[in-house]
């Protein structure tokens, strides 16, 4: 079981699955969602149309089409409303449900962007703690084969926050 933290563009990664910070329609949008649809090509949207959307915290899987990754796991995170509207629980479920789908497909390498911390406004300091704790907990308690999780941060600032909080939480990671 391992956790990697890197800075980069998630659409470039040759992994088993990348996770998409989607919206409940699952029909594309801006940010990382837009970048993933652009890189995957129009067949991704065609498949997404068959999924019937997803509630915040749930996750659904599609093929990766023109992406280097084989699969895309789509999960709408919570919109930040100040922190007292169940945002933390929903964000945790986005990570855990994505990991559950990855496990059910026996995927070995899964890359996550920083869900909800762009358009959805979840503060990166708080969101990174939820992301790191949820995935670390899943790897320790629920993974029954070797799984590698890569946190892919688009900006150096977000990367630095993840590294700082991984250290504070005592979570082992590689670069």
Q: Which is nearer to ligand AR6, 38 or 146 (CB)?
A: 38
Burial of 4 (0-12, 13-18, 19+ CB in 10 A): middle
Where does this chain touch ligand AR6 (CB under 6 A) — which range of 9-17, 41-49, 66-74, 162-170? 9-17
Q: Is 123 in the site for ligand AR6 (CB under 6 A)?
A: no
Residue ranges in 67-106 that form contacts with ligand AR6 under rule CB under 6 A = 77
* 13: contact with ligand AR6 by CB under 6 A: no
Residues 125-154 that bind ligand AR6 (CB under 6 A): 152, 154
Contacts of 42 (CB under 8 A, 6+ apart): none
Written in H, E and C, the secondary structure of 43-112 is HHHHHHCCCCCCCCCCCEEEECCCCCCCEEEEEECCCCCCCCCCHHHHHHHHHHHHHHHHHHCCCCEEEE
Consecutive H or E run containing 19: strand 17-22
**Per rule CB under 6 A, is residue 109 in the interface with ligand AR6?**
no
Q: How far is the CB of 108 from ligand AR6 (least distance, A)?
A: 20
Query: Residue 126 and residue 88: Cα distance in Å, rounded?
Result: 9
Among this protein's residues, is 33 annotated catalytic? yes
CB of 132 to ligand AR6, least distance (A): 15
Query: In sequence order, what are the beta bridge partners of 7?
Result: 153
Catalytic residue among 33, 84, 158, 160: 33
- Pick between residue 32 and residue 59 the one whose CB is nearest to ligand AR6: 32
**Catalytic positions, please?**
33
Contacts with ligand AR6 by CB under 6 A lie at 9-11, 21-23, 29-33, 35, 77, 113-120, 152, 154-155, 158
């Amino acid at each position: 079981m391992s956790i990697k933290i890197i800075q980069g563009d998630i659409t470039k990664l040759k992994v088993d699955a990348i996770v998409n910070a989607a919206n409940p329609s699952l029909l594309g949008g801006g940010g990382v969602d837009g970048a993933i649809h652009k890189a995957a090509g129009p067949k991704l949207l065609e498949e997404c149309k068959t999924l019937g959307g997803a509630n915040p915290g749930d996750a659904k899987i599609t093929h990766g089409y023109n992406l280097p990754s084989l699969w895309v796991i789509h999960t709408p995170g919570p919109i930040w409303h100040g922190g007292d509207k169940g945002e933390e629980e929903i964000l945790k479920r986005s990570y855990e449900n994505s990991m559950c789908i990855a496990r059910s497909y026996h995927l070995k390498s899964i890359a996550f962007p920083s869900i909800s911390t762009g358009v959805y406004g979840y503060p990166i300091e708080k969101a990174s703690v939820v992301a790191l704790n949820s995935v670390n907990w899943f790897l320790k308690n629920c993974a029954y084969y070797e799984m590698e999780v890569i946190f892919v941060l688009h900006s150096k600032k977000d990367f630095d926050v993840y590294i700082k909080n991984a250290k504070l939480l005592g979570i082992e990671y590689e670069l």
